[in-house]
Amino acid sequence: MKSFFLSLIFILITVSSANSQSTHRQVRLLDHYITDAIKQWNPPGLAVTVVKDGDIIFAKGYGVKTLGSANNVDENTLFVCASTTKAFIATAMAMLVDDGKLNWSDKVIDHLPTFQLQDPYITRELTIKDLLTHRSGIGNTDYLWSLMTISSDSALYKMREVKASYSLRSSFVYQNLMYLAAGKVIESVSGMTWEQFLQDRIYTPLKMEDTYALYKRVKQIENKADAHYNIDEEITKIDQMVVDNMGPAGSMWSSINDMGKWIKFLLDNGIHNGDTLIKSTTFRELFKPQQIIPESQFYPTQKVTKPNWRTYGLGWFQHDYRGKMVQFHTGSLAGMVAIAGMIPEENIGVYVMGNLDHVELRHAIMYTTFDLFMDGKITRDWSTELYALYHPEKETTKEPKPIENTKPSLTEANILGSYSHDIFGEVEISKNGEHLVLNLNNTVYGRLKHWHYDTYQVAFKKKEWRKTKLTFRMGANGKISHLNIFGEQFNYRIEED
């Protein structure tokens, strides 16, 4: 009997050692693959963590925090989480469900009595779950925070001016403002800010000591990445985009070390070190398919992954891959990217952060990680395939040119002044020295150059913004009537004496 137990122990040790060696080999393969792929995609910096079978088996930084510097990215370097913040908000809601303070089917107005949309039916019927699943009936309203300097309360107030673009729950259109409303619900129900709730109920229990809900908390921290953009085929550092006013939709910052703890917690089904932070039934609801996503609303990667179905859970995109269910979400702000991905059935998860705008190497690393830990080897070159997808050969089409020898029918004196739009705010056209300049909501600035007739080309102060055209229109009375930009009409505002 003694020899039997000794043999059994020997077998277990041998198996454990073999598994450990296999994991180390897979980690080395992944590390080499990422290092090679970075040369193709050329992000200044990147950070990756992998969780497998309950352990964080990989956490590493690559490159630099700022192009041209010697400040290397490490596993504690802070990057923006952007829209991967949404999963934290959904998890916070789940905890409040466990606390008995709300139900998924509660009407939003039961917790936010002042919440109002233009459609009274949607206002009355919108539920907590609707806030988290992008099926509110309201189209994209990102202009309320990207084209305006506006408080979160003001942004939500302006939602009552937005017409519904489809019927409630009939389709899927990504909606950041609804996650802002979800944050307000957390505050109303919990009696604390959404930031403090995440700190008390998620960051602190998981020992996520380098995770912050708002940029203002990390502004003075040195070990953080800077944003970069590819401008005219040159990677350039740009000003950091700040979305604290839209916090619950995507303002979090964290390190790859901390995000490994987050992914581990999720793969452990809401349990941390034996403590159940979310009841199993509530936790499972986060990852159930809640809303079908039309093909037109899904990621371009589907052209390569070819999923049979696409759905959205509570803060998670979902699709099938090799017969398994993938839970994932990207995060993007100007010059920064992130992705969280898991196959819970395989007990595998990955999180990637980068500091170059839309460097889709993040997707390649996610699928490579899935393949590597399902097959024990890298079976497909996702980096090359996705690089080709996101960098198609440019057609040699001629750039549009202005019609020569034309003059504007409206003088500069005629077009100076303020123009207003009920939803998009105000445009001010003024003169600065020899130049005509545009000011949109004291947020977006540009310089006008005559193109032809009454059309001008706008070069924005933010270099990462592409140039666009602006056209002034004359009324029947021969005076300025309005201007058109971004496909919208801003009416000339006549100043009253």
Q: What is the CATH number of the domain that holds 440?
A: 2.40.128.600
Assess whether 325 and 423 both reside in one domain: no
Assess whether 83 and 214 both reside in one domain: yes
Sorted by sequence, the CB contacts under 8 Å of residue 398 that are 6+ apart come out as: none
Residue range 326-348: mean pLDDT, rounded: 97
Asked if residue 396 is part of any domain, the answer here is no
User: What distance lies between CA 154 and its chain's CA centroid?
Assistant: 22
Alpha-carbon distance 108 to 112, whole Å? 6
Asked if residue 12 is part of any domain, the answer here is no
193 in Cβ contact with 46 (< 8 Å): no
Assess whether 308 and 428 both reside in one domain: no
DSSP 8-state code for residue 439: E
243 in Cβ contact with 272 (< 8 Å): no
Alpha helices by DSSP H, listed for 300-457, are: 302-305, 361-375, 382-390, 412-415
Alpha-carbon distance 313 to 292, whole Å? 9
Domain span at residue 178 reads 19-390
Asked if residue 211 is part of any domain, the answer here is yes
Residue range 61-75: mean pLDDT, rounded: 97
Assess whether 112 and 250 both reside in one domain: yes
With pLDDT > 90 as the criterion, what percentage of the chain qualifies?
A: 84
Q: What is the CATH number of the domain that holds 265?
A: 3.40.710.10
User: 401 or 283, which is more confident?
Assistant: 283
Alpha-carbon distance 474 to 480, whole Å? 5
pLDDT in tens, 123-134: 999 999 999 999
Strands in 310-312's sheet, in edge-to-edge order, are 55-63, 45-52, 348-354, 336-343, 324-333, 317-321, 310-312, 291-292
Residue 393 CA: distances (Å) to CA of 257, 302, 388, 389: 37, 19, 8, 10
In terms of residues, how long is the chain? 497
Assess whether 386 and 441 both reside in one domain: no
pLDDT in tens, 95-110: 999 999 999 999 999 9
Asked if residue 223 is part of any domain, the answer here is yes
φ/ψ bin of 272: left (φ > 0), alpha (ψ from -120 to 50), beta (otherwise): beta
pLDDT in tens, 421-472: 988 889 999 999 989 999 999 989 999 999 999 999 999 988 888 889 999 9
Q: What's the one-letter identity of residue 483?
A: L
Sorted by sequence, the CB contacts under 8 Å of residue 488 that are 6+ apart come out as: 421, 424
According to DSSP, the residues that pair with 432 across neighbouring strands are: 435
Q: What is the pLDDT of residue 67?
A: 96
- For residue 18 the two structure tokens come to 């073999």
**0.85 surpassed by pTM:** yes
8 has pLDDT over 50: no
Sorted by sequence, the CB contacts under 8 Å of residue 218 that are 6+ apart come out as: 78, 212, 224, 253
Q: What is the pLDDT of residue 16?
A: 46
Alpha-carbon distance 477 to 481, whole Å? 9
Q: How many CB atoms lie within 10 A of CB 136?
A: 26
Nearest to 55 by CA among 267, 254, 366, 204: 267
Asked if residue 266 is part of any domain, the answer here is yes
Assess whether 95 and 219 both reside in one domain: yes
Determine the longest span between alpha carbons in the chain, in angstroms: 106
Hey, is 199 helix, strand or coil?
Answer: helix
189 falls in which pLDDT band (50, 70, 90)?
very high
Count of domains observed in the chain: 2
Q: What is the pLDDT of residue 492?
A: 94
Q: What is the pLDDT of residue 146?
A: 81
Residue where one domain finishes, among candidates 390, 423, 439: 390
- For residue 136 the two structure tokens come to 């509110």
Q: What is the pLDDT of residue 148?
A: 80
Tokens 């609801």 belong to residue: 285
Q: What is the pLDDT of residue 49?
A: 98
Q: How many CB atoms lie within 10 A of CB 75?
A: 18
Assess whether 484 and 355 both reside in one domain: no
pLDDT in tens, 480-494: 999 999 889 999 987
Tokens 């310089």 belong to residue: 447
403 in Cβ contact with 452 (< 8 Å): yes
Sorted by sequence, the CB contacts under 8 Å of residue 266 that are 6+ apart come out as: 87, 342, 344, 349
6 has pLDDT over 80: no
Assess whether 305 and 202 both reside in one domain: yes
Give the per-residue SS3 of 256-320. Answer: HHHHHHHHHHHHCCCEECCEECCCHHHHHHHCCCCEECCHHHCCCCHHHHCCCCEEECCCCEEEE
394 has pLDDT over 90: no
Alpha-carbon distance 183 to 17, whole Å? 46
pLDDT in tens, 247-293: 999 999 999 999 999 999 999 999 999 999 999 999 999 999 999 99
Q: What are phi and psi of 408, to 5 degrees?
A: -70, 145
Q: Which helix (H) or strand (E) holds 449?
A: strand 444-452
Q: What is the pLDDT of residue 12?
A: 43
Assess whether 199 and 340 both reside in one domain: yes
398 has pLDDT over 90: no
